[in-house]
Structure 1
Amino acid sequence: MKILRQQGYSLLELAVVIVVAGVLLTAGAGLYVQRAEQARDVSHQALVAVADDAIAGFLFARARMPCPATGDNGIENCQAVIGQLPYRSLGLAEPLLNTAGQALTYAVYNQPSVTNTQDAALTLLKDRLQPFFADATPAVASAQELGYQNGLDFCQALVIAASKPPSSAHLNVGQSDDNYINVAYVLINPGARDSDGDGQLLDGVNSAMSDDSPRAAYPDQPADANYDDQVHAVYFSQLNQKLGCVNAMTPGAAHANALSAAAVMQQAMIEYREQLELIAFLAGADIAAATADTLKSVVDTAVTVAESATSVASAINSGGGLSGALVAAGLATGLAVVSLTATTAGLAFAIATAAISDQNVNNFQAQEQALSAIRIQIDSNLRAADQAGLYE
């Protein structure tokens, strides 16, 4: 009788199969999670790219940042610092939703001031760009309000905001009051679940954001069991570079510096002209003095001639006995004529010097007028550059 043996897997074989299956499942699960994270990142990047472009378009048109929307209507509310992306105000037909159908949270930096040159409320349009220059004589430089409000003033707001000391009372990213940095605006993708179990889709510090405490997590905070938000933060320097603020603001600064230099130069020219006028005045005084000397020499010559005539008559009457006096009188007359000639030459020199001095004054006044015309043109260029705004 033949005994049939039941065929099957040994325990060892089953164990090997289970181990292999486990390895494959683990690898597959890890790959799935990795692919899911990659797809989530791609979706997030596409979402914030659309939002960034819409915000930039609003900026170019309005020269300010959009305010958050505090409802589902997508209309900005400028009484708020934190809310949703105001898609209708940005010209979008529908809200930007993540893969879980959740809207982006949007917050913007606002630090207002009653002094325009210190104002860093990015949602307000103000005349912040007031170049520091001298536009008159005496040349004293001061901040000058040019009267135009445009993208250059928003660029100046970014410069002001970046120069302010860190403030936890204004929009920032970080983990604590000892570890944060202020930013221009943030977009927060709330993820698909309430990872930290606090009853809100936003996790960690993001869930505690408010107008009074506008802090978001760092953009590079990794996802874990208690956090699945994604933060997109735009810094002041990044927005400045994106808008081309440096290149746009350079001409105005150059005009302001040139105008100040022209004012200083004109002040120096005024002082130099006053010196030339003093020289001309002194030259006129020299003419008067030389004229007086000439008149005196003429009188002295006349007296000497008269005395010579008397000496000649006396010599004739004396029969030659006074011939010595006659010689002395002749010499005196000669000296008087020489003196008259010298003083006449001095008068001529004084007149020539005065004429040159007067010509110098006239020439310099013409140069002053030319510089004044240049200053007027520079001032016009400065105001035209400010009026042109961010894009000419």
Structure 2
Amino acid sequence: MSIQRQSQLGYSFPELALVIVVLGLLVIAATTVIRDTQKVTDSVEAQALFQRADNALSGFIYANGRLPCPAAAGGAGVENCSLTNGVLPYQTLGRAAQLRNQEGLEFRYAVFAKTGATTLDAQLNKKLDRIQPFYTTAAPLSSASQNLANASDMDLCRALSNGWDATANSTYAHTTDGTTLHHIAYVLADPGAIDADQDGNLFDGYNVAGVKFGLPNRGISANYDDQVHAVYFDEIWEWMSCSGILSAVVHAHPNAKSTTAIYRQALVDYKVQLELAVEFAEAGRATAAAQLLQASAGLATAASLIPAGTATTLLIPPVGPYVTGPVAVGLAVAAVAVNVLGVTAATLGLSYLEVNLIPLTKKMVSLIDTVSPILTTLDASVETNVKAADQAGIYER
């Protein structure tokens, strides 16, 4: 009877306490699982929104050759280029609504915008003519930076390069861990669900205001529930294929222009040397003429390669139509002949000069007179094409 009465009394106090402890642990475990699951869900949702924003920004870059300026928070989503940080300009990007997180809160957006001299400018939100390649111009021969007078997508590549090379400066968009500063092309920040650090601002840590943001890989904690998405200069550089296209814009085509100018001037100088040699020879000064022709031949050792190379160039389309094959080949042959005969001239008399070398030298001068105007025209044409290619957007994506 006593045993039956004891069983009817239920759990003892120690047993009840143990049950409560177990239930408490289960509740804590369940809460943790729910919270962690929610964090994962929020993170996945944020990444999806970041990707949508990246797609819209990429499309804007392709269409405009720059990044958009931020819009004012709580406004109509139209870019305001007096701002370097604000919210995503959804109207300017052609989106129907503002980018918001699961709590309906706007994302912050900032863009790198470092001012500087034209070729050093790194305002990614402005389309400027930053690429000004060096090439040689004729009459007089000189090399200088040339303003192509057209802003294209490739000028954004130069801005990206300038931003990458810029000295660390907290004035411009950057991420930081509190010690190291990293410049970024643009950044988006999700404020999370609550004011985790309880500072009166939904954004936590370094994301509160301005162009400073926390590191993208900072984990969510008790006092931080923001998510940061940073895009760096090299990322945009790669998908714009800046490396391959810039080599043509800044080097290949301008170098072709420099080559035509240098060829032209080399032929002009070579012609002067030949004319002086002929004048001395015709004046009957055999010894002096022979020495001068020998000196000219020394020049021809190197210079003959120039008309020979010019002749080859003139035979290759689209230059070929400017000059006939015989003239171009004759230029190369005459260059070699003057070189060979000039070397032997120092040991020969005036009669040999008059009968052989002087007529050949005059022929060389005549050939140079034929080719020089062609090179002048070609030089001007290449320069026109360098600028026209940039104006036509050939180098744009």
- TM bracket, shorter-chain basis: 0.7 to 0.9
103-112 or 130-139, which deviates more:
130-139
1:146 aligns with 2:143: no
1:382 aligns with 2:394: no
- Out of 235, 241, 245, the position equivalent to 2:242 is 245
Q: Say if 2:284 is the partner of 1:286.
A: yes
Provide the residue aligned with 1:93 in structure 2: 96
Please list the CA deviations of residues 194-226 of structure 1 after superposition, one character each: whole Å capped at 9, or x if unmatched.
11111111111111x23xxx2111111111111
CA shift for structure 1 position 79: 0.9
Where 1:286 maps in the other structure, the secondary structure is: coil
Question: Which residue is equivalent to 1:41?
Answer: 43
Deviations 1:133-168 (A, max 9, x none): 212254432110011112111221112222221111
CA distance in structure 2 between the aligned counterparts of 1:111 and 1:222, rounded to whole angstroms: 30
- Partner of 1:141: helix, strand, or coil? strand
Distance 1:377 1:9, change over 3 A: farther
Q: Which letter does structure 1 place at the counterpart of 2:396? A: Y
Larger Rg: 1
Could you report, residue by residue, the CA deviation over 1:322-356 in whole angstroms, capped at 9, with x for unpaired residues?
Answer: xxxxxxxxxxxxxxxxxxxxxxx965751432211
State whether residues 157 and 237 of structure 2, in contact with CA within 8 Å, keep that contact through their aligned partners in structure 1.
Answer: yes
TM-score by length of 2: 0.75
* Equivalent of 1:274 in 248, 272, 275: 272
Instruction: Tell me: CA distance 1:250–1:3, structure 2 relative to 1, closer, same or farther (3 Å).
Output: closer
CA separation in 1, counterparts of 2:151 and 2:2? 105
- Give 1:246 deviation, angstroms: 1.9
Hey, what does 2:367 align to over in structure 1? 363
* Residue among 109, 113, 133 paired with 1:110: 113
Distance 1:204 1:346, change over 3 A: closer
Q: Which whole-Å CA distance do the structure 2 matches of 1:385 and 1:246 have between them?
A: 18
Residue of structure 1 equivalent to 2:258: 260
Q: What runs of 5+ residues in structure 2 fail to find an aligned partner?
A: 288-348
Matched, 1:128 2:130: yes
The offset of 1:76, in angstroms, is: 1.0
- Separation of aligned partners in 2, 1:18 and 1:267: 98
Displacement of 1:92 in angstroms is 0.3
Q: Deviations over 1:113-137 (max 9, x none)?
A: 3x31122222222111111221225
Is the 2:281–2:350 Cα contact (8 Å) retained in structure 1? no
Structure 1: 5+ residue runs without aligned partners?
290-344
**Over aligned residues, Cα RMSD in angstroms?**
2.7
Letter in 2 for 1:261: T
- Alignment of structure 1 residues 1-392 onto 2, 5 Å: 4-5=4-5, 6=7, 21=23, 24-70=26-72, 71-113=74-116, 115-176=117-178, 178-207=179-208, 209-210=209-210, 214-253=211-250, 254-286=252-284, 347=351, 350-389=354-393, 390-391=395-396
Quick one: which amino acid aligns to residue 156 of structure 2? F
Deviation at 1:383, TM superposition (A): 1.9
8 Å CA contact 2:76, 2:91 repeated in 1 = yes
TM-score, with length taken from structure 1? 0.76
